[in-house]
Chain A
Amino acid sequence: DTEVTQTPKHLVMGMTNKKSLKCEQHMGHRAMYWYKQKAKKPPELMFVYSYEKLSINESVPSRFSPECPNSSLLNLHLHALQPEDSALYLCASSQGGPGPYEQYFGPGTRLTVT
């Protein structure tokens, strides 16, 4: 199984809402990633978890809060977002360690902030 799943596929939320994006993999990978992708742009790295610990935070605003409850799951908690946060949010996973390892991407959650 080389699949990374993400839920929900689409999400519309108001600026005062709290919501969460979920990502799951069952490949035994120990590194997981969140990317943000705006339309017609490349993915931008947000966070990296390595062995369930946050290893990279690319200066992401605190209204985005990642969580890695176990080696298979990755969440992104959203609170008080702005319209400019509307984007495709991609999750990826790879083997842990120094790498380099192929990153396997999920299909993404398309987020619209109204």
Chain B
Amino acid sequence: AQSVTQLDSQVPVFEEAPVELRCNYSSSVSVYLFWYVQYPNQGLQLLLKYLSGSTLVKGINGFEAEFNKSQTSFHLRKPSVHISDTAEYFCAVSEVAAGNKLTFGGGTRVLVKP
């Protein structure tokens, strides 16, 4: 069975500074990787996904992530954050043979300060 670890539970960051959210996964088979964002009192929204091909994936709202197979990581980055990026961010994995079944990491709360 797969598992996902988000190494930081909270990340405070100043507005216009860069941010990196770390995600590591464990699986014995090939996986698909996702980052979702959850704004307060809302459902989850997909930021980006890695299925295959280029290891650098660009998503919505200026976010990007890099898949590193040897380190089993899928870290999320944004070069300059806005106040509106304050939210909970979840890394998720789906095993290739498991279709659409997602396993989520514990989440990282990003607090953007003015």
Chain A residue with Cβ nearest B96: A100
Q: How far is the CA of A41 from the CA of B104 in the complex (A)?
A: 10
Interface size on B, residues (CB 8 A): 20
| Contact residues of A between 73 and 114, Cβ < 8 Å to B | 90, 92, 94, 97-103, 105-108
* Docked-complex contact B100 and A94, CB < 8 angstroms: yes
Chain A residue with Cβ nearest B107: A42
- Interface majority SS (helix, strand, loop, mixed), chain A: loop
* Docked-complex contact A105 and B43, CB < 8 angstroms: yes
**Contacts A100-B32, A100-B51, A103-B46: A41 and B100 contacting too (C-beta < 8 A)?**
no
* Docked-complex contact A107 and B43, CB < 8 angstroms: yes
Q: What residues on A are CB-neighbors of B43 within 8 Å?
A: 4, 90, 92, 105-108
* Docked-complex contact B45 and A100, CB < 8 angstroms: no
Q: How large is the interface on A (under 10, 10 to 19, 20 to 34, 35 or more residues)?
A: 20 to 34
Min C-beta distance of A49 to chain B, whole Å:
11
* Docked-complex contact B99 and A98, CB < 8 angstroms: yes
Chain A residues in the interface with B (C-beta under 8 A): 4, 31, 33, 40-45, 48, 56, 90, 92, 94, 97-103, 105-108
Q: What residues on A are CB-neighbors of B107 within 8 Å?
A: 40-42
* Docked-complex contact B94 and A99, CB < 8 angstroms: yes
Q: What residues on B are CB-neighbors of A107 within 8 Å?
A: 41-43
- In the complex, given contacts A41-B106, A105-B36, what are 20 additional A-B residue pairs having Cβ atoms less than 8 angstroms apart? A31-B100, A41-B107, A42-B105, A42-B107, A43-B44, A43-B104, A45-B101, A56-B101, A90-B44, A92-B43, A99-B94, A99-B99, A100-B94, A100-B99, A101-B100, A102-B49, A103-B46, A103-B100, A106-B43, A107-B42
